[in-house]
Structures are given as C-alpha cells and as structure tokens.
Structure 1
Amino acid sequence: MEIHLIRHTAVENPENLCYGFAEMPLRKDYPEDFNRLEIDDDYDIVVSSPSQRCCLLADYFKLDYQTDERLREMNFGNWEMKKWTDIPEEEINPWYKDFVNIKATDGENLVEMQARVFSFWNEFVLKNDINKILIITHAGVIRLILQTVLQFPLENMFNIQIDYGKKVIINVNEGIFSVKKMNV
C-alpha cells in the first residue's frame, strides 16, 4: 500500500491567530498554490479532513473523496481564533512546558488527538483492498502519523517540518512501514 499524506496549502493568517478546529481561510492566491501541487489520478480512496482548507483542495482537483472528523487539526478550545500573544500566560505557559498532556479549556491535548488520529490510521491501514490512498489533512495529523510509523517520542513531533501543500509518502509492505518521501 502507498499512503500519500498532503497538508493543505498556506492560510491567510496575518494576525498570527491560534487555530486548529476553527475555519481559517486559505491565502487569497490559493489557486496558484493548487496549480503547483502534484496530485496523482489513481488513488483507490481519498479521505479529507472536513476543514474547508482541506476540502477546497479536493474539490479543486475534482477528487471523489470522503471526509473524516478524525483528520482535523488539534482542537485548541477557547484559544481558537485568538492571537497567540493574547492567550493568558497562566494558560499558555503550562502548555508550552507540556503540550503533550496540557490542553486549552474545552480543547484537547496531544494524547487525545493522537488517539483520534490513531483510530483513523488503524482503520485505513488495516484494510487490505487499498493499494493507494490520499489523505488531505493538517501538519499535526501528519506528524502524528509519522510518530506512529517511526515510533519517536510525542514531545519530539514538532521537530519534523511539514510544509504547506507538500506530500509525505509512506509505503506499507507486509506490515513494514517506510517513509518514502517527505515534503515533495
């Protein structure tokens, strides 16, 4: 099986707002960004985060896709759409020190997000009838999938750069995973 993970293209966020679950528009020139993407035409299945910034990409390429809530970015709860600098220090500092276990009020922590993504991953990876899948999602989701494949500590996940509008390709052969390409 070949798994293509693609991050949505760049967003319009001049005020440096915190967003994950919240809808954040793609930059105004997003069709130009889409034109630079290389999307294959032989996927057995295409699954997208339901976030508009992901579905727009699937719609642009006229892909037959389904959405899955488990592919959403982290839920930052009450921090969503606030400037990072406006989040009270007594809330954000504990998260900076332990983003794996600490969460925003009404949000989720990384362990909870990991369980959500892992549920999706197990469901689709265990299907034997899929040769090639495209997953349109977010940097956090892709990092968590890579963490599952490569088995590195969760606290190291932000050491992996996942570029806007780029793919990660993973091969699965007889239960063995290999990362074939990054940011292509």
Structure 2
Amino acid sequence: MEKETIIDLMRHGEPEGGTLIRGWQDDPLSETGWSQMREAVSEPASWDRIISSPLTRCFRFAEELSEKLDLSLSTEDRLREIGFGEWEGRLPAELYEEHPEAISNFWRDPVKHTPPGAEPLEQFKLRVEAAWEDILSRHQGEHLLVVAHGGVNRLIIANVLGIPLVNLFRMEIPFAGISRLRIGGGIPRLVFHCGSDLV
C-alpha cells in the first residue's frame, strides 16, 4: 500500500511594515512575525524536511528552524508569492481610496481583473501547481513543512479541494497559519487542527 504524504503549509509571519499589498517585495519578518512563527511550531511535528519560498519573510525562519531541528532545507523559487505589480508595497486603505473599483473588482474576480503590471492569476496558478506536482513526485511518503505565502497556500489548497480560481481569496489564512494536507489513500484531504496537535 502506498504510504501517505503529509504536507504542512505554513504562511510566513507579519513582515516589517505591517499589512501591505506585498507580493514579490522582499520585506523581512518583524519581531512580531518571528514570534508568531516560533510560537506556531513550539511543539514541532515529525517533519522529514523543510521546503521554503526564497523570499526573506519565509526563508530566514525556515533556515532557523531547519538548523534547530537538524532538517534538510531547500528553496523552491516557484513558491514565491503572486506579484502585485504597481500595487506592491501599498496600504490596502490607500488603494481603496485611490482606486476603489479596481481593487474591489480584483478581490471579487481576480482572474479577470489583474492589477496594473501584476502577474496574471492564471500564470501564478501554473507555476505554483507545477511546483506542487514536483514536490509530491519527489517526496512521496514523506512529511514535509512548506513555508510559503498566503496566496501560494490558498492556491495549493484550492487545487487539492477543487475550488474555482475565482474564489481563491475567500480563504483567510492568518500570519503563521498552518494547514495540513494528506495526500494518498484515495482522495487528498485538508485537515483542520486544534491548538498544537500537529504531530
């Protein structure tokens, strides 16, 4: 019988600068962000390895954790967040004030309403899903921690559950939030957790 693959998707903590429209902008974690992530894994699971987005807000924590737990760490460039183009680094409130219709349209239907200069959602989907398929192929039967971004983790969950791309932002993933996916045994499953029961 094929061994089940377990993947814990972890979003980075709060970056410096607070809540901005932040995709490829490479801000480090704030002190709060470091605390959020360390607290989220205060009782670590029995991971076999860690895979991280190369962006600083993910990789620096993944690097620290891999050294602490003596785990192999690799980066996957295709797990970078979606690029927001001209909206990068902007406060959502500013965008609602300056471009209320454009930002409302984006959240309602991000497939048809790409921000100026941004990465189209369909293109984002293709690169993240390619990375996901490669991860599953290379690490079958392992228990992985994948440290990435809100958009990336939403996309992977949507892929596994068959959620339409247009509904991607109906999922709310908090800073340092962890979502577990079990792959194998018929159908893939999203597992909800209570407290620190990640073992």
TM normalised by structure 2 equals 0.79
Cα offsets for 1:17-54 (capped at 9, x unmatched):
32111012322334432331226364333210111000
More helix as a share of residues: 2
Take 1:163 and 1:97, find their aligned partners in 2: how far apart are those partners?
Answer: 20
Take 2:136 and 2:194, find their aligned partners in 1: how far apart are those partners?
Answer: 21
Superposed structure 1 runs of 4+ greater than 6 Å apart: none
Take 1:34 and 1:149, find their aligned partners in 2: how far apart are those partners?
Answer: 24
Residue in 1 aligned with 2:92? Answer: 84
The match for 1:25 among 28, 31, 45 is 28
Residue in 1 aligned with 2:118? Answer: 107
Cα offsets for 1:85-140 (capped at 9, x unmatched):
55552754553453113323332122111111100111111336441111100111
**1:173 Cα deviation after fit:** 1.3
1:47 and 1:67 in contact (8 A); partners too: yes
Aligned length: 183
1:51-66 → structure 2 map (5 Å cutoff) = 51-61=55-65, 62=67, 63-66=71-74
1:147 alignment partner, SS class: helix
**1:153 Cα deviation after fit:** 1.4
Correspondence 1:45 to 2:56: no
Aligned-residue CA RMSD in angstroms?
2.4
Residue in 1 aligned with 2:106? Answer: 95
Q: Which segments of 5 or more consecutive residues in structure 1 lack a partner in the other structure?
A: none
1:7 and 1:139 in contact (8 A); partners too: yes
The match for 1:137 among 128, 139, 148 is 148
Moved more, 128-137 or 84-93: 84-93
Change over 3 Å in CA distance of 1:114–1:42 after alignment to 2? same
1:168 and 1:183 in contact (8 A); partners too: no
Change over 3 Å in CA distance of 1:183–1:107 after alignment to 2? farther
Change over 3 Å in CA distance of 1:126–1:84 after alignment to 2? same
The match for 1:178 among 164, 169, 189 is 189
Amino acid at match of 1:51: L
Residue in 1 aligned with 2:167? Answer: 156
Amino acid at match of 1:54: C
